[in-house]
Structure 1
Amino acid sequence: MEEAKFYKEIAEGPSSAGAYWIQTEDNVRLRVGAYHTPGDRKGTILLMLGRFGYVERYGRVAQSFADNGFSTVVVDWRSQGLSDRMADDQQAGHIHHFSDYQKDVSAMMQVVESLEMPKPYYLVGVSMGACIGLRAMLEGLPVAATAFISPMWGIKMSAVQRIAAWPLSWAAKVTGQGHRYVPGESGEC
């Protein structure tokens, strides 16, 4: 674990905040942010973000948690923030398997343990992070309580889209095109 770039002026979080590089078991380099204040004694919030989240984006939230006696840890998931990308297109947010995020959770917990962040742990999952967090809980993540905010339990699609989505995604994966955008979409804003 080594120190990583952290943009304090953007985060507007606790002054003791920092970020660290850590490798997952499948050799992906992730950035993990730790908002830890020595006086935090109530526990640590494991903040699991959605698709467009990154460490600094929730600095003010971490400040609010700190004001209430909690430390916060947050991870730039693979293909997000400053973490390694799984595709050449930096905007794609591509991953190979959704279950790979569990490797990111394990790496995040290594940082929590290395920094001796206070127990108990509490999970706050936002959107996609809620889905990742629920799976982590089902696999034994030791949390005392959980809050899910706008959980991504599924993607809203019409019946026609849903019928087309499975064979299209299967064909893309089989032909090595799983990293591409869906028809009609691009990385342009």
Structure 2
Amino acid sequence: MTELLRQVPENPVPAGTKAGLMKAADGLHIRYALFPNAAPSGTIVLLPGRNESIEKYFETVGDLAKRGFACAMLDWRGQGGSGRLLSDPRKGHIERFDDYVSDLNQFFTDIILPDCRPPFHLMAHSMGALVALLAARDLVNRVRRMVLLAPRWTFPRRCQCRR
């Protein structure tokens, strides 16, 4: 089902890629891709940032494949090839940020665990890294390592207590 992915000569779809649509709990379709490896050392789940899509990561998938990893990836709801909540496809609106966490948990349950080889590692960028942090409690028994690149996260300011 690689026809779900955009074919660009300068950015070819990695060999063996399988793409599909996962039906989220609310009925929205979430596009995903699996990038198998003949003898994987495990699977890296790639979580893109805001306004990124699967196609942006083809080069990264190739680099990880050379290191012996299979990869799995999804487009967040409202982005890439996933369903939209608004009639304007250029707008990536969501109702609740927790919907991203639910989609990630369902992606693990429905797609990654049955179809991908462990151990599982997670590599996330920007908004994807924030979703990974929010989902960390659910992922603790599934994911061995997480690499979070530029998470959209701020630490609370130190309390200005009187002394």
TM tier, smaller: 0.7 to 0.9
1:21 matched to which residue of 2?
Answer: 21
1:153 matched to which residue of 2?
Answer: 153
1:34 matched to which residue of 2?
Answer: 34
1:49-128 mapped onto 2 (5 Å cutoff): 49-109=48-108, 110-115=110-115, 117-128=116-127
SS at match of 1:139: helix
Q: TM-score, normalised by structure 1?
A: 0.74
Amino acid at match of 2:123: V
1:169 matched to which residue of 2?
Answer: none
Q: CA RMSD in A?
A: 1.8
1:157 matched to which residue of 2?
Answer: none
1:159 matched to which residue of 2?
Answer: none
SS at match of 2:105: helix
The 1:4–1:138 alpha-carbon spacing in structure 2 relative to 1, beyond 3 Å, is: farther
Report if aligned partners of 1:24, 1:106 keep a CA contact under 8 Å in 2: no
CA distance in 2 between partners of 1:143 and 1:113 (Å):
11
Report if aligned partners of 1:4, 1:20 keep a CA contact under 8 Å in 2: no
SS at match of 1:89: coil
Q: TM-score, normalised by structure 2?
A: 0.85
Amino acid at match of 2:52: G
The 1:3–1:21 alpha-carbon spacing in structure 2 relative to 1, beyond 3 Å, is: farther
SS at match of 1:34: strand
Larger Rg: 1
CA distance in 1 between partners of 2:90 and 2:52 (Å):
13
Using the TM superposition, give the Cα deviation of residue 138 of structure 1 relative to its aligned residue in structure 2, in angstroms.
2.1
Using the TM superposition, give the Cα deviation of residue 103 of structure 1 relative to its aligned residue in structure 2, in angstroms.
2.0
SS at match of 1:144: strand
SS at match of 2:22: strand
